[in-house]
Structure 1
Amino acid sequence: MYRRISHNVKELSRQIVYVPKHKPPNNEDINILKDFITQHKKILILTGAGISTESGIPDYRSEEVGLYARSNHKPVQYQEFVKYPKVRQRYWARNFVGWPRFSSVQPNATHFAIRDLEKCGKVTSIVTQNVDRLHQKAGSNNVIELHGSGYIVKCLNCPYEVNRDDLQVELLQKNPDLTSDFFMIRPDGDVELSKEQEERFKSPLCPDCEGPLKPDIVFFGDNVPKTRVNLVKSQVTSSDGLKVGIQNWLQFKKKVQFSLSCR
């Protein structure tokens, strides 16, 4: 029993520590949001890393608690991943160890609130920059994953793709002794490992063509697929209201234009 209580306390502490400093909403804020929801029938919601911090996944840029503030780690660049086997080996080693924790993260109250708005017909589409699938775990249906998903893995050379959980089973068979006590998970699900651990990791290859495998995520330096860009544009056009972390249409358009270009 004490072990379970200790685990729960650690998990709660981990979730709280990644939430940036903020002021709680006052009555005026709440009334503005209520009026906005009442006045619109086709709301599109845009979410980013901040929505998942209360679930225990840090964002990149928040002061004091974001990944960049807490470490010198820089996310892998797309061209480096494609070009260098050692970069892929390091990425997959860290992703393999971090996956059990990352995939077990649960939605928080905000995810469920958005789901409820979708169920009652107010929200017609959710565009998220996150790769954690917490919106889907909460029960939302019409979710566009702008930067892809960590739950799908694809071959870079052929049409092969595999569920990330299934790949984890294969990687565990090849790397049964690889573990890490490093506490901080990163926004894309990986953790810190020693150089020796990275170098002895056996990377995954495509079973069909032996090509390199990559999560279906838009890495930094890569572009959002054009079909996904067009889908988001169509949803923006058909919506009569846009909300979450924005104050007006102009700010939203700027944020979407930035998001649709590249990471």
Structure 2
Amino acid sequence: MGVPPAARDHGVVDLQVVEQVAELGAWMAEGGVVVLSGAGLSTDSGIPDYRGPSGSARRSTPMTYQAFTRDPIARRRYWARSHLGWRTIGEAFPNDGHRAVAGLQRCGVVGGIITQNVDGLHQAAGAGDVVELHGNLSRIVCLDCGDRTERELLAARLDEANPGFEAAAIAINADGDAELDDTDLDGFQIVDCLGCGGMLKPDVVYFGETVPPERVSRSFELVCSARTLLVLGSSLTVMSGRRFVLRAVKDGIRVAIVNRGVTRGEPYAGLHIDAPLGIVLPHLAAELSAPVHI
């Protein structure tokens, strides 16, 4: 394979990265690649990571399912933050990394995709067979009647209910939860389900909730059928994603990680490439989808 652009962009050829990318390309050329993606894949789309060098550790405590359903004040504050954060998530576009993964899937190198992200950018880039482990912020679910609606409908209703809401976010997290001063949250009005008047919630998995078992089962099926599990942009800090790496290792499936910064999966990986995904992935896609000349 040719020298990755990443090696030239900083004026210095990192021979270790070049060799690692070439080895990863050889693995992927055999097919049977399943992708496990995390927040680091979406940073080039303007969605901050939690822990990587392109983002900062979040300063607020993530919303829990218990607080959301039991505490009206916590629920109101969450919706004010999430309504503002959606303006960033909802306007994000797929980046070169997302497009490269979709291209690798179209040419048969990548099979299924498991994502910890809730931004829907894999599908927006043209990927299929995506397991959204933690759900999708573009959908809203009623906790009473189960009805699912589009986020844009709710955003319009919240705008109408809060015509004077002009808060500015201090930061936006990868789950779409903005960080605001408490004074900006006063008076924010939430809305309920149009069908039954029940409690509305983004169709995502909160802390304190369990990932739906059918998603977990499908993810394990994909991993167990793979030749290579390719982890993209995830620190694998939480067990929700790391368990698939552990299962792959247990079953003798190769694990490769491309991530900026440290990852808890490094001890289990045959390859760990610390390099920008937006450069490495398009390089791999171009190499692996190029026609063979005889």
Asked if 1:61 corresponds to 2:51, the answer is yes
Structure 1 residues not aligned, in runs of 5+? 1-22, 247-251
Alpha-carbon distance change, 207 to 24 in structure 1, aligned in 2, over 3 angstroms: farther
Amino acid at match of 1:59: D
Flag as ranges the 4+ runs of structure 1 deviating above 6 A: none
Alpha-carbon distance change, 258 to 222 in structure 1, aligned in 2, over 3 angstroms: farther
Q: Deviations over 1:52-94 (max 9, x none)?
A: 12222122233683233xxx21111111111111111011111
Q: Deviations over 1:131-168 (max 9, x none)?
A: 01111111111111001110111011112121101111
Paired with 2:143 and 2:126, the residues of 1 have a C-alpha distance of 31
Paired with 2:218 and 2:245, the residues of 1 have a C-alpha distance of 16
Structure 2 residues not aligned, in runs of 5+? 1-13, 234-238, 248-294
Asked if 1:152 corresponds to 2:139, the answer is yes
Determine the structure 2 residue equivalent to 1:38.
Answer: 29
Alpha-carbon distance change, 96 to 253 in structure 1, aligned in 2, over 3 angstroms: closer
Alpha-carbon distance change, 114 to 25 in structure 1, aligned in 2, over 3 angstroms: farther
Aligned 8 A contact 2:43 2:54 in 1: no
Determine the structure 2 residue equivalent to 1:233.
Answer: 220
Aligned 8 A contact 1:205 1:213 in 2: yes
Higher helix share: 1
Aligned 8 A contact 2:229 2:245 in 1: no
Within-5 A mapping of 1:65-144: 65-68=55-58, 72-144=59-131
Q: Deviations over 1:224-258 (max 9, x none)?
A: 01111111122222222211259xxxxx9981359
Q: Secondary structure at the residue paired with 2:94?
A: coil
Q: Secondary structure at the residue paired with 1:67?
A: coil
What TM-score comes out, normalization by structure 1 length? Answer: 0.79
Aligned CA-pair RMSD: 2.6
Asked if 1:49 corresponds to 2:39, the answer is yes
Aligned 8 A contact 1:37 1:122 in 2: yes
Q: Secondary structure at the residue paired with 2:178?
A: coil
Paired with 1:24 and 1:212, the residues of 2 have a C-alpha distance of 55
Paired with 1:53 and 1:24, the residues of 2 have a C-alpha distance of 25
Alpha-carbon distance change, 167 to 64 in structure 1, aligned in 2, over 3 angstroms: closer
